[in-house]
Chain A
Amino acid sequence: MGGRERLLGAFSKGRPALIPYLTAGYPSLGGAREVAEAYLEAGADVLEVGVPFSDPLADGPTIQDTTARALENGADVDYSLGLAGEFSGRAPVVVLVYYNLIFARGVERFVREAGEAGISGVVIPDLPVDEAGDFARAMEDAGVAFCPLAAPTSTDRRLEEIGRLASGFVYCVSVAGVTGVREKLPPGAVELLRRVRAKVSAPVALGFGIGSAEAAREAAGEADGIIIGSRLMQLVGEGGPERAGRWLQEVRAALSESAGGGH
């Protein structure tokens, strides 16, 4: 089964897929592996691996700090794709990568390497669908899903376009803003999920600012997947991979209780 199919499979478990994020190379090159292990042990359905970039303009302070540290640790694109590939046999892996890193490598080469590493999907925070056509098609040909973002500010016309290009899940940005922990689910998040669902047939995952089990549970009624990043990276920073893993287990339990959500 190809990477893309395995990714889509993760969304058909009768409860929202749990998608924890880690920055490749944080807290160290080896430490990132431990983080991924801890996530899998905690019951992650999909791993999201962030490739560190010098100018992560969609990210808030927490992820900025982890990417800066990862770059200091020597995490480059080769390392990041290698890390993603190491785990792609055990769970579908989605790579989050800023577009210049792909462009510098050469789109063709990146797509080929992602396919070879068994990567299931790609999220590119600074590549809106208007600029993504050729890339999304190349990804699809390589069996790797393109996972576009949808924002509260996206018009219905744009949501249709996003739906057309999505070969994986649609990454719904819960709030106009950057990544970062917010205690409560932002009020517009549920409305966005409903609007996206009305226009898009792909699975719908919610991310940006889901910082508590409660927020995850709230979102679970409407989302096919929950993406959690900043809170986990904070916990890794404070107490290492185990601490993040333990917290993720709680979220996982909360999501299981609310089974029946999604579609």
Chain B
Amino acid sequence: MRQRAESGYFGPFGGRYVPETLIHALEELEESYERYRNDPEFVEELDALARDFVGRPTPLMLASRLTRRWGGANVWFKREDLAHTGAHKINNTLGQILLADRMGKRRIIAETGAGQHGVATATVAALYGKECVVYMGEEDTRRQRLNVVRMRLLGAEVVPVRTGSRTLKDAVNEAIRDWVTNVEDTHYIIGSVVGPAPYPRIVRDFQTVIGREIEAQARERFGGDPDAIVACVGAGSNAIGAFHPFVGREGVRLVGVEAAGRGLESGEHGASLAEGRLGVLHGAKSYVLQTPDGQIREAHSISAGLDYPATGPEHAYLKEEGLAEYASVTDEEALEGFTLCSKLEGILPALESAHAVYHAEKVARELGPGRNLVVCLSGRGDKDVEVAAEALGVGPEVSGGR
């Protein structure tokens, strides 16, 4: 597998399906990554920023009330929501801004769905003094206006995308168009383990810090590997990051949770591993939600971050090889996970992460008491407060009082 990954493929998935104009930039990125990934100065700079700027390592916390309630395995939260900017996205953007800086790129572009990746990109661009433009579907700028404001305060330009479904898929198209046009001085910080090679591998490597920390913390806290790791999968970067050190390791179940939206049967969901077919989108071959003719379908999820009609090629590979298992959780179930996590553990999780929390119950019960289950809490839910409040009918009005 490793050898194939270096060729830009994970089994039959991955590749480089982009306009010719971009090939040179991808080759440059690949060369630069090969050169710096083991460069002591690069590694030291990244580690220092991870520690001092991001606040790593993030804690591994025993979710004791959920553990008791479910009566199954011990439930542990990997607290990526505590990372600076509030989500795992910062791990990748930090790594990529270091690369962009070494490649001499003065301008950064990114796409964002929920806004977490956009905020993380705007943050690192500010840190390194780069011009930053973030493409965001118009629909998402409405759903996630808090993050739009954060990006602007950080000095980024946010461009609302009004084509197609006006969500993440179209923001990616627009970012690619910008990149094709400004490829000489611009680096495109892709936000997940998608896109043309070498992005899926680079993003995975920068996110693998999550899995490496889980490994070390698990040993310290309960003396061995977890019995399972559960993480949400839109395009799939927090999941790949958490899974990667454990792929193929005996006794560790890796469980990805996709968005079933309004239900798989409704056709309105983001479950490309469950319902997609092999196809090509945004530069890579993977599972894609599409019509029989090959037109890309619009995805739906209550969580803007899972609202994407494809998934990373490495997830497709892990599924195909039986190295990870994938489930899906509806909007309604995710809201239940959101409520449980908030009320029992005092943590408002991102709606993305709430999908993983909901599904964790099933896995915890299957594993049984005494076993250990890690849930990757990929981000915090501040950004989702308005969406969740509306869906749950919770308002700010104070009634009566006592």
Chain A contact residues, CB within 8 Å of chain B? 53-58, 60, 64, 68, 71, 76-77, 99-105, 125-131, 148-155, 158, 162, 173, 176-178
Pairwise interchain contact A178-B20, C-beta atoms closer than 8 A: no
- In the assembly, what is the distance between CA of A158 and CA of B21, in Å? 11
Q: A100-B288, A151-B21, A153-B21 are in contact. List 20 more A-B contacts (CB 8 A).
A: A53-B294, A55-B164, A57-B19, A58-B180, A101-B295, A103-B280, A103-B294, A104-B277, A104-B293, A150-B20, A151-B19, A151-B24, A152-B21, A153-B20, A153-B25, A158-B20, A158-B23, A173-B20, A176-B21, A176-B182
CB distance from A189 to the nearest CB of B (A): 13
- Name the distance in Å between B295's Cβ and chain A's nearest Cβ: 4
Cβ A176 vs Cβ B295 within 8 A: no
Task: Give me 22 A-to-B residue pairs in the complex whose CB atoms sit less than 8 angstroms apart, sorted by A's number.
Answer: A55-B170, A57-B177, A57-B282, A60-B177, A64-B163, A77-B294, A100-B279, A105-B293, A105-B294, A126-B19, A128-B20, A130-B23, A131-B15, A131-B17, A152-B21, A153-B20, A153-B23, A153-B183, A153-B184, A162-B20, A173-B19, A176-B184
Cα(A101)–Cα(B280), bound, Å = 9
Tell me, in angstroms, the Cα distance from A170 to B203 when the chains sit together: 34
Q: Across the interface, do B181 and A177 meet the contact criterion of CB distance under 8 Å?
A: yes
- Give complex CA distance A128, B26 in Å: 12
Chain B residues whose C-beta falls within 8 Å of the C-beta of A173 in the assembled complex = 19-21
Please report the C-alpha to C-alpha distance between residue A178 and residue B290 in the assembled complex, in whole angstroms. Answer: 24
Q: What is the chain A residue whose CB lies nearest that of B22? A: A153
Chain B, residues 158-197, CB within 8 Å of chain A (1/0): the string is 0000011000011001001100111110000000000000
One digit per residue, 1 when the CB lies within 8 angstroms of any chain A CB and 0 when it does not, for chain B 247-288 equals 000000000000000000000000000000111111101001
B225-260, CB < 8 A from A: none
A-B contact count (CB 8 A): 115
Are B173 and A149 in contact, with the CB atoms below 8 A?
A: no
Are the C-beta atoms of B293 and A99 separated by less than 8 Å? no
Q: Are A101 and B293 in contact (CB under 8 A)?
A: yes
A113 to chain B, nearest CB (A): 13
Cβ contact of B281, chosen from A100, A125, A150, A158, cutoff 8 A: A100
Given the known inter-chain contacts A153-B183, A177-B181, please indicate yes or no for A58 contacting B19, CB distance below 8 A.
yes
Minimum C-beta distance from B304 to chain A (A): 18
- Pick the contact of A57: B25, B176, B278 (CB < 8 A): B176
- How near does chain B come to A110, taking the closest CB pair, in angstroms? 10
B62 CB within 8 Å of chain A: no
State whether A76 touches B293 (Cβ < 8 A). yes
**Nearest CB in chain B: distance from A103 CB, A:** 6
Q: Please, what's the 1-or-0 string for B286-302, where 1 marks a CB less than 8 Å from any CB in chain A?
A: 00101011111000000
- A176 near B296 (CB under 8 angstroms)? no
Give me the interface of B with A, judged by CB distance under 8 Å: 15-25, 163-164, 169-170, 173, 176-177, 180-184, 277-283, 285, 288, 290, 292-296
The docked-state distance in angstroms from the alpha carbon of A92 to that of B22 is: 30
Q: What is the predominant secondary structure among interface residues of chain B facing chain A?
A: mixed
On whether A154 and B24 interact (CB within 8 A), knowing A99-B17, A101-B294, the answer reads yes
- Per CB-CB distance, the 10 closest pairs between chain A and chain B, nearest first, are A104-B294, A151-B21, A177-B181, A153-B24, A101-B294, A54-B295, A151-B20, A149-B20, A100-B280, A54-B296
Q: Is the CB of A131 within 8 A of B16?
A: yes
Measured between alpha carbons, how far is A77 from B15 in the docked complex, in Å?
24
Contact for A55 among B19, B173, B292, B293, CB less than 8 A: B173
| CB closest residue in chain A, given B18 | A126
Bound: A60/B178 CA distance, A: 10
Least distance between B299 CB and chain A CB atoms (Å)? 12
* Nearest A residue (CB) for B24: A153
User: Which residues of A lie under 8 Å from residue B170 when comparing CB positions?
Assistant: 55
Given A101-B294, A176-B183, is A155 in contact with B24 using a C-beta cutoff of 8 Å?
Answer: yes
Pick the most buried of B164, B277, B285, B293: most chain A CB atoms within 10 A of its CB: B293
Closest to B296 in A: A54
- Within the complex, what minimum Cβ distance (angstroms) separates A5 from chain B? 26
A99: contacting residue among B21, B176, B181, B280, CB under 8 A: B280
Closest beta carbon of chain B to A177's beta carbon, Å = 4
CB contacts (< 8 Å) of A176 on chain B: these are 21, 180-184
Q: Which residue of A lies closest to B27 (CB)?
A: A155
Is the beta-carbon distance between B23 and A100 smaller than 8 angstroms?
A: no
Distance A85 CA – B184 CA, assembled complex (angstroms): 40
B18 touches A128 (CB 8 A): yes
Contact A177 B180 (CB under 8 A): yes
- Tell me if A53 and B23 are in contact (CB < 8 A): no
The answer to whether A178 and B180 have CB atoms under 8 Å apart is yes
Q: Looking across the interface, which residue of chain B has its beta carbon closest to that of A175?
A: B181
Give complex CA distance A177, B280 in Å. Answer: 21
B172 to chain A: closest CB distance in Å?
A: 8
Tell me the bound Cα distance from A206 to B59 in angstroms: 57
Residues of A contacting B285 in the complex (Cβ-Cβ under 8 angstroms): 103
Chain A residues within 8 Å of B24, by CB: 151, 153-155, 158
A126 to chain B minimum Cβ distance, whole angstroms, is 5
Q: Flag if B18 contacts A68 (CB, 8 Å).
A: no
Which residues of chain B are near A100, meaning CB under 8 Å? 279-281, 288, 290, 294, 296
In Å, the complex CA distance between A103 and B13 comes to 13
Asked if residues A154 and B23 are in contact (CB atoms below 8 Å), the reply is yes
